[in-house]
């Protein structure tokens, strides 16, 4: 019984793998947003998160 | 040769020697065994009356073996030193040979005398139980299964050797892997060799031979009265039973030709059978009646461990056992001794290797019901168990103390005074049966659950490994299909030259022309920059002007290198990639906001490539990891299960030697 449950879970994992390849899914993809065109096109109206953040400082 | 008529030297009644090579004929009137020599007839003494054993055979029956016809001309009953008895039938074949057809517990063994000119055979004293006898002809080794002493009891008809009533002789029975059988008769010197095999009535052309009275008794059983207390008791296998206990007064009774003899009063047992004696149940394809119950024990390191055995009986199948130990059950059936090849701590049977689990002296503590051998309380045998789940091979070896044959002729005693150990080995094969099966088979209530695994219990989740393997294989195949079919299409590639920045926190932003992205394909963005002990950081977005959908990503590129006391080192790369889930098919502007703080006063460049439909090994790895979580947990449980399974064994593979 337990083995059959595992088989079902395994088939689901395999299916998810196949589906992710078929649909082009990627793990860890950053969040998507909808930014209206008028907001984006207004002067200074849109800046990315990193614009407000202190920025990248390198690895060393 | 025509029949020879003679007069019985004892009573004068006519005796006919129908077969030219027969040696002894039993007078039907006075039961004298009459031997014919060159000139005179000799009266060898009176034989006992034959005991009715319910055999389907009879003197005068005709059959054929391997196309050669035969007739059963005689029968002898031979007594075993332990008290049992078996039949020997003598078959005169049409080609002049004699066949010895032994019948014991419903099995038949046909052997023929093999002339061996040189005395290559080991002496009886040097025969070892369970060891092969190399000197015998034949392609397979024959193992010594029994060394015993037989006594000629009753006889009838014509017999091909000099059978003297009451004489005893030593013999050894040998067994081969596929039903081969041999007997070494040590009544003379050198011993006489008989080789053959186990046969069925069908093999002998005697399939129609039946014993009607036997069948009738099987159905009805026999009701007798205890000679001790007078209480009633049933015999459920009357033609096989050698011992029975009285359910009223716990007397152990000997059974001889339907007559009961009081032997002793049994000590009361400390355990009650969970399967009532007389209960009938269907298990592993056969319908059996529980006719006997015994408790046995072994002593290990000063502690005595007990288990229970139920003797099952089916007239067509024979005897089987249900063994109940520590809440676990085994269905046990006999195995021909020659079919097992023991070697050191292993035994091979039927192509499988069994590992030794226990080797102890087993003692009978308590008996109840009826048994086909002369069981006694306190009797001990050496018991060795070998396991290969779900099966267990068990060897029981009984050795009787050395003693001279009880009755030998003066010539025999003078010729070879023997004092040898006799004994026999019995192999049996147990198959693990779960408790529910036993409950259902015998309609008994809920039995207590076992506290630990049985020595031959299969790990219940073993099938997961098979599924794990199949799923892993399927994953690799799927990965292969994905990798082959992945379009891996380059959508965009451009190198951007960037002017120096005013300060370290400044960024420079560039926009691309709209890029056509396909739906349902992942996106790989790769940035390359000639960084050297420095970094460049890309903050990017795919932006859809029509829908306002914005997919941001970060792509740092950094590469450092140098040397220290450990030697040269490097870290990072001049190239880095990021993977993004597929976006809806449409045109997107790629916005890149770049900073390179360490060298902001110098110009910089960055090459950006966008690809779609890239096969990803990371997904394969994640899938394999996800599929392995449960099997790895099961493997840990399996290991613990196996350790507990071997916990009671002196030969545990988990013990450090």
**pLDDT tens per residue across span B271-312:** 889 999 999 999 998 999 999 999 999 998 888 999 999 999
pLDDT tens per residue across span B83-92: 678 899 999 9
**pLDDT at residue B404, as a whole number:** 47
Average pLDDT over residues B11-16: 90
CA neighbor of B391 nearest in space, from B436, B440, B335: B335
Average pLDDT (B466-493) is 94
Answer yes or no: is pLDDT of B262 > 90: no
B571:A60 CB<8 A: yes
User: Model pTM?
Assistant: 0.75
Asked if A58 lies within 8 A of B558 by C-beta distance, the reply is: yes
Say yes or no to pLDDT of B176 above 50. yes
B595: closest chain A residue by CA: A56
- Distance, in Å, from the CA atom of B316 to the CA atom of B24, rounded to the nearest integer, reads 34
pLDDT averaged over every residue in chain B: 88
pLDDT at B215: 45
pLDDT per position as a tens digit, A39-57: 666 655 555 545 545 556 6
Taking 70 as the threshold, does the pLDDT of residue B495 lie above it?
yes
Alpha carbon of B259 to those of B15, B57, B226, B233, B406: distances in Å? 33, 24, 10, 12, 24
Question: Is residue B655 scored above 70 in pLDDT?
Answer: yes
Residues of chain B with Cβ-Cβ distance to A48 below 8 Å are 539, 541, 552, 593
B633/B224: higher pLDDT: B633
The complex scores an ipTM of 0.81
Alpha carbons B159 and B164: distance in angstroms, whole number? 11
- pLDDT at B269 exceeding the cut of 80: no
Report the percentage of chain B scoring pLDDT > 90: 53
Chain B positions touching A30 (Cβ under 8 A) are 551-554, 580
**Could you tell me the two tokens for B296?**
């046995």
**Mean pLDDT across chain A, nearest whole number?**
78
With a cut of 50, say whether residue B338 has pLDDT above it. yes
> How far, in Å, are B7, B96, B567 from residue B10 at the CA level?
9, 30, 114
Q: Is the pLDDT of residue B506 over 90?
A: no
The two tokens of residue B89 are 């039938």
Does the pLDDT at position B417 exceed 60? no
Nearest Cα of chain B lies from the Cα of A1 at a distance, in angstroms, of: 8
Contacts of B521 in chain A (CB under 8 A): 24
CA of B523: which chain A residue's CA is closest? Answer: A24
User: Domains in chain B, please, with CATH?
Assistant: 4-199 (no CATH), 267-451 (no CATH), 489-614 (2.60.120.380)
Residue B429 is predicted with a pLDDT of 97
Give B102's contacts (C-beta < 8 A, 6+ positions apart).
Answer: B86, B87, B88, B89, B108, B109, B111, B183
**Which of A17, A48, A59 shows the shortest C-beta gap to B539?**
A48
| Cβ-defined contact of A18 to B478 (cutoff 8 Å) | yes
- Cα(B545)–Cα(B549) distance, rounded to whole angstroms? 8
Total CB pairs under 8 A between chain A and B: 139
């Amino acid at each position: 019984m337990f083995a059959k449950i595992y088989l079902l879970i395994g088939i689901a994992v395999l299916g998810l793998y196949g589906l992710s390849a078929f649909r082009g899914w990627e793990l860890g993809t950053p969040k998507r947003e909808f930014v209206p065109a008028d907001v984006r096109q207004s002067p200074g109206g849109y800046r990315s998160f990193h614009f407000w953040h202190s920025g990248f400082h390198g690895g060393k | 040769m025509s029949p020879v008529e003679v007069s019985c030297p004892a009573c004068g009644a006519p005796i006919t020697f129908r077969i030219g090579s027969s040696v002894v004929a039993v007078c039907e009137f006075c039961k004298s065994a009459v031997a014919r020599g060159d000139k005179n007839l000799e009266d060898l003494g009176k034989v006992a009356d034959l005991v009715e054993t319910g055999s389907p055979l009879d003197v005068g029956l005709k059959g054929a073996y391997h196309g050669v016809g035969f007739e059963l001309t005689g029968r002898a009953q031979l007594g075993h030193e332990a008290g049992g008895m078996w039949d020997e039938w003598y078959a005169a074949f049409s080609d002049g040979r004699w066949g010895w057809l032994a019948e014991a517990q419903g099995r038949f063994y046909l052997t023929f005398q093999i002339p061996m000119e040189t005395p290559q055979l080991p002496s009886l004293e040097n025969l070892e139980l369970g060891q092969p006898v190399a000197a015998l002809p034949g392609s397979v080794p024959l193992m010594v299964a029994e060394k015993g002493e037989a006594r000629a009891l009753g006889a009838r008809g014509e017999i091909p050797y000099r059978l003297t009533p009451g004489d005893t002789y030593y013999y050894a029975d040998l067994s081969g892997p596929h039903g081969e059988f041999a007997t070494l008769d040590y009544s003379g010197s050198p011993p006489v060799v008989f080789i053959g095999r186990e046969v069925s009535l069908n093999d002998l052309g005697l399939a129609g031979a039946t014993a009607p009275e036997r069948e009738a008794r099987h159905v009805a059983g026999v009701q007798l009265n205890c000679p001790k207390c007078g209480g009633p008791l049933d015999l459920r296998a009357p033609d096989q039973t050698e011992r029975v206990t009285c359910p009223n007064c716990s007397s152990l009774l000997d059974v001889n030709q339907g007559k009961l003899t009081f032997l002793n009063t049994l000590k009361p047992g400390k355990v009650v059978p969970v399967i009532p004696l007389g209960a009938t149940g269907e298990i592993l394809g056969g319908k059996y009646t529980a006719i006997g119950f015994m408790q046995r024990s072994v002593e290990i390191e000063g502690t005595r461990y007990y288990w229970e055995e139920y003797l099952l009986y089916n007239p067509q199948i024979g005897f089987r056992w249900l063994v109940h130990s520590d809440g676990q059950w085994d269905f046990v059936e006999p195995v021909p001794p020659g079919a097992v090849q023991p070697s050191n701590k292993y035994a091979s049977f039927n192509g499988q290797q069994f590992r030794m689990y226990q080797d102890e002296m087993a003692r009978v503590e308590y008996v109840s019901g009826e048994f086909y051998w002369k069981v006694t309380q306190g009797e001990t045998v050496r018991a060795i168990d070998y396991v290969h789940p779900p099966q267990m091979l068990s060897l029981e070896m009984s050795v009787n103390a050395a003693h001279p044959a009880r009755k030998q002729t003066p010539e025999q005693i003078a010729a070879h005074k023997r004092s040898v150990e006799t004994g026999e080995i019995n192999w049996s094969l147990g198959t693990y049966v779960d408790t529910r099966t036993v409950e259902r088979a015998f309609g008994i209530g809920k039995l207590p659950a076992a506290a630990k695994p049985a020595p031959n219990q299969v790990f219940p989740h073993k099938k997961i490994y098979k599924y794990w393997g199949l799923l892993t294989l399927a994953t690799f195949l799927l990965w292969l299909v994905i990798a082959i079919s992945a379009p891996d299409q380059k959508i965009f590639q451009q190198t951007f030259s960037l002017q120096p920045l005013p300060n370290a926190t400044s960024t420079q932003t560039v926009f691309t022309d709209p890029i056509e992205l396909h739906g349902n394909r992942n996106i790989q963005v790769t940035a390359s920059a000639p960084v050297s002990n420095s970094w460049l950081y890309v903050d990017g977005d795919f932006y859809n002007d029509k829908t306002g959908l914005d997919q941001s990503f970060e792509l740092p590129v950094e590469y450092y290198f140098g040397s220290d006391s450990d030697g040269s080192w490097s870290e990072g790369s001049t190239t880095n990639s990021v993977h993004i889930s597929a976006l809806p098919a449409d045109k997107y502007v790629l916005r890149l906001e770049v900073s390179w703080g360490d060298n902001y006063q110098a110009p910089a460049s960055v090459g950006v490539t966008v690809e779609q439909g890239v096969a990803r090994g990371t997904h394969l790895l994640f899938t394999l990891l996800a599929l392995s979580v449960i099997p790895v947990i099961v493997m840990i449980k399996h290991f613990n299960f196996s350790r507990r399974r071997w916990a009671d064994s002196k030969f545990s593979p988990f013990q450090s030697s």
